[in-house]
Amino acid sequence: MVPDRAGRAAVPVTGKCPRILSIAGSDSGGGAGIQADIKTITMLGGHAMTAITAITAQNTLGVQGVHQIPTAMILEQIESVVSDIGVDAVKIGMIGSAEAARAVAQYLDKLSIAVVFDPVMVATSGSTLADVDTIAAFGELMDIASVVTPNLPELAALGGKDEVLGHGCHLVIKGGHGEGDVVVDELYSPTGLIRRVEGKRLDTSETHGTGCTFASALACGLGGGLDLTAAFEQAISFTRIAILEAPGLGHGSGPLGHQFVTDFRDDDR
């Protein structure tokens, strides 16, 4: 059983095939969002389900268009899978609007499952994916999240480490946007540092969908019964190998090589 955020029940585990719901936007280029989540969850042995919050016209060069899905339809997708198949863990990525953020938070607050919130604000290409009102509503998602997984710019926009931990969730501070030859990823509980992982910085621009991949891998680990530290370490390993195995597609920041990831549990790269 996986300990959830303070005051919430433990995560139910189904066994060999954890049921993971991704609430996120669709990336037509297949590198990030729902597409990256499905590939990650599948490679980790889970059953991927989706509630699409937005449709994007997107490739490795940027985001050319965004069409938001109505909040009622987002909730209908969630209810459809929860009421029939069931859910062991949830990953939230691009949420689409402030209204959707509040509605999803209210729905998930009724469920005793792990929730991994990746506060997507800007695509790898630099395109904006969340407006000011939506970012302001992220507080309600952090209130119900088990773990929040911002990169360094996103963490700053959320008010910093103490502000995020003040919502009672755990926090992963991802170091990919930092400087130097070493990437530092840190896992915090509301009371302090739990785990710090250092790795060699990978010299590549093939990083489109890295945050989505890490968050969905973390959700799949939790939904499959790993404790938080083990799920964190597995998610780092899976993501690093997927970056190394990137197939080199497109003319910008290319997608990861999820389909080529094997033996990630013993990775020491």
In a domain, 32, yes or no: yes
- Tell me which residues of the chain have a pLDDT lower than 70: 1-15, 123-128, 176-180, 264-269
Q: Please report the pLDDT score of residue 131 as a whole number.
A: 80
Q: How far apart are CA 13 and CA 7, in angstroms?
A: 19
In a domain, 98, yes or no: yes
Q: How far apart are CA 203 and CA 3, in angstroms?
A: 36
Q: What is the DSSP letter of 219?
A: H
CB 196 within 8 Å of CB 184: yes
For the question of residue 207 being annotated catalytic, the response is yes
For the question of residue 211 being annotated catalytic, the response is yes
In a domain, 186, yes or no: no
Q: Please report the pLDDT score of residue 125 as a whole number.
A: 61
For the question of residue 209 being annotated catalytic, the response is yes
Task: Choose the catalytic residue: 50, 210, 213, 239.
Answer: 210
CB 109 within 8 Å of CB 102: no
CB 147 within 8 Å of CB 141: no
In a domain, 127, yes or no: yes
Q: How many domains does the chain have?
A: 1
The CATH number covering residue 169 comes to: 3.40.1190.20
- Strands 19-27 and 47-59, bridge-based pairing: parallel
Task: Choose the catalytic residue: 25, 33, 174, 223.
Answer: 174
pLDDT in tens, 71-109: 999 999 999 999 999 999 999 999 989 999 999 999 999
Structural domain range at position 118 = 19-174+204-258
For the question of residue 174 being annotated catalytic, the response is yes
**In Å, what is the CA distance from 234 to each residue of 97, 220, 226?**
31, 10, 9
Q: Please report the pLDDT score of residue 256 as a whole number.
A: 96
In a domain, 170, yes or no: yes
Q: How far apart are CA 261 and CA 249, in angstroms?
A: 17
**Helical segments of 85-223, H only:** 98-108, 132-144, 152-157, 161-165, 210-223
Q: Please report the pLDDT score of residue 96 as a whole number.
A: 87
In a domain, 180, yes or no: no
- Strands 170-173 and 182-189, bridge-based pairing: antiparallel
In a domain, 143, yes or no: yes
Task: Choose the catalytic residue: 39, 212, 213, 224.
Answer: 212
